[in-house]
Structure 1
Amino acid sequence: MVLSKTQKKDLTKKLAKELSSYPIIGIVNMANLPAKQLQAMRSKLRGPVVVKMVKKTLMKHAFKIAEKDKPGISQLADRFEGMPALILSKDNPFKLFKTLKANQSPAPAKAGQIAPDDITIPKGKTPFSPGPIISELGGVGLKTSVQDGKVAIVNDKVVTEKGHVINAKVASVLTRLSIMPMKIGLDLVCVIENGVIYGRDVLDIDETIFLSKVQTAARHAVNLSMEAAYPTKDTMSLLIAKAFTQAKGVAVESAILNEKTTPDIIAKAARQALALQGATS
């Protein structure tokens, strides 16, 4: 349907108003996403997430209008990939990325697609008997042998590096080996929040590793605070305990009697007396 100038202008203003009303605005790449999966995704995400599919030119015009309320939003136009669409959310950007990633499903590779990551064919025995398959595998750089009557791949091999185009030979071999390196779903390219743009490389974090790093950093911070005798609410009780132990140690060594040191000084004297008695007997 062809829109008139007035309709385009009204649509742009409406989109700009929506952009201004959401704290999180993102760009998704919908290339290679079948209509059936798109409808399923939109149904799942309905509520906290809104997907807007409009032409690039209308997006860019809407960005300019929304710039006064969303500084920096026009920079999203430089992040368009494949078939770009807008995603609007009130979720945390990292939670949004995790939600979209969890709803992706594996898919076979097709010639001409871009590898999302390094595509590796692992070593091991295949279900194929020796025959034309050997030359097919060799055609993509795989070394083979025959094990128990079946063709085996000798070494792991990266057949297409991340960001490179998957050629027809590689796509065919991957399909025959039942390797599905692609993902079907909404591919979140980046989001903007409070004027800061986060790319997928920042948003795609391993929560277990991230938590481990935070815990390690916290331990290091406490250790540094202790060594520097820098009091905080987390180290005050530890510093007092450390100071008490050190002060008590000095008092015991100096034989300064008080209610805290007397038992230790008496025990120390007893040990020394026993040691002396043993040395002289």
Structure 2
Amino acid sequence: MVKEWKVKKVEELSKLIESYPVIGIINMQKMPAPQLQAIRKELKGKAKILMSKKSLMKRALEKAKKEGIKGLEEYLKGQPAFIFTEMNPFELFKYIKENKTPAPAKAGDIAPKDIVVNKGNTGLPAGPAIGQLSEVGIISKVQDGKIHVVKDVTVVKEGEEISANVAAVLNMLGIHPMEIGLDLLAAYENGVIFDKKILDIDEEEYRRRLNECIVSAINLSLNSSYLTKLTAPMAIQKAYLEARALALEAGVYTKEVMDELLAKAYREAMSLKKMITEV
């Protein structure tokens, strides 16, 4: 017989799934309780986080009537939790990504990006620390009684495991390369599931590509004489400038170019007069 609290939990989760337009799956693994409380407080009024057993979360997804919602089951990994919100998935991912805090590295952690120790004064006094730095490939020297790193060194590359020695050195130098925050694995909206790889947009790159597309579309419209509401004024201006240039080149007398034709004729006459005078 299924325990009553499990039935109630599934019912609660399924109702929330039906109530909110956007449902996300987040991984809470290695999330310290104090940071989680701070995040909950920060998200108050924007999103609701609810943790439960994977089996109960799966049942809630199966019970929900939303089309395609069951596809979230494959993202129930690590220590999953639901996040319910009215923010669109991209807005939600951006908000979560921007609200992560630095944390010290521990042995066994996976580097989220290249970890670089920059050259310069470490602030550490001369002593055993020099040997610790050397063990992880950091060349240093003593200057004015303090240890200085001679050149920038990448001690761990993105995706590599952080060793105990490297973690100790990073902590000694006050470098906190890890990030504590929610890890949004996927989000559902209107029958579509957005994976984190889709949600993680480089906004600057997106704007650059969008601008390139706009310029290419305008050029295609103008060069093919396929006019639109946007390009019609540009095409008229282009045609006017080309017609004007042709009139000047061919000496066609119109009121638009008459002044310039007269000025051109005057310059040519003055040039000719000078040549005759010199002869």
TM-score bracket relative to the smaller structure: 0.7 to 0.9
Segment of structure 1 superposing worse, 44-53 or 149-158? 149-158
One-letter code aligned to 1:37: Q
Q: Does 1:75 align with 2:85?
A: no
Structure 2 partner of 1:156: 152
Shift in alpha-carbon separation, 1:211–1:234, aligned structure 2, 3 A: same
Candidates 17, 20, 23, aligned match of 2:18: 20
Q: TM-score, normalised by structure 2?
A: 0.86
Cα drift, residue 206 of structure 1: 4.6
| Contact 2:101–2:181 (Cα < 8 Å) also in 1 | yes
2:103 aligns with one of 99, 104, 107: 107
Does the 8 Å contact 2:248/2:257 carry over to 1? yes
User: Which of 237, 243, 247 in structure 2 is aligned with 1:241?
Assistant: 237
Aligned-partner Cα distance in 1 for 2:154–2:195: 25
Q: Distance in 2 between matches of 1:195 and 1:134?
A: 57
> What is the RMSD computed on CA atoms of the aligned residues?
2.6
Partner of 2:114: 118
Given the superposition, is the C-alpha separation of residues 125 and 264 from structure 1 closer, same or farther in structure 2, using an over 3 Å criterion? same
* AA in 1 matched with 2:114: D
Give the aligned residue type for 1:117: K
Which residue matches 1:139? 135
Match of 1:47 among 35, 38, 45: 45
**2:87 is the alignment partner of 1:91:** yes
Distance change (3 Å), C-alpha of 1:194 and 1:280: farther
Inter-CA distance 42–158: structure 2 relative to 1 (3 Å threshold): same
1:216 is displaced (CA, Å) by: 4.1
Q: Displacement of 1:213 after TM fit?
A: 4.1
Does the Cα contact within 8 Å between 1:20 and 1:70 map onto a contact in 2? no
Matched-pair contact (CA < 8 Å) for 1:33–1:184? yes
* Residue number among 55, 62, 66 corresponding to 1:64 in the alignment: 62
1:8 CA drift (Å): 2.3
1:30 deviates by 1.7
Separation in structure 1 between the aligned mates of residue 117 and residue 74 of structure 2, nearest angstrom: 34
Contact in 2 for aligned 1:24/1:88 (Cα 8 Å): yes
Amino acid at match of 1:258: T
Moved more, 234-243 or 248-257: 248-257
Q: Distance in 2 between matches of 1:8 and 1:31?
A: 22
What's the CA shift for 1:99?
2.0
Q: Do the aligned partners of residues 113 and 75 (structure 1) sit closer, same or farther apart at CA in structure 2, a change above 3 Å counting?
A: farther
Deviation at 1:212?
4.1
Q: Structure 1, unaligned stretches of length 5 or more? A: none
Structure 2 unpaired stretches of 5+: none
Amino acid at match of 2:49: V
The alignment of Structure 1 onto Structure 2 pairs a total of residues equal to 277
Deviations 1:22-49 (A, max 9, x none): 2222222222222222222212212221
The aligned counterpart of 2:199 is 203
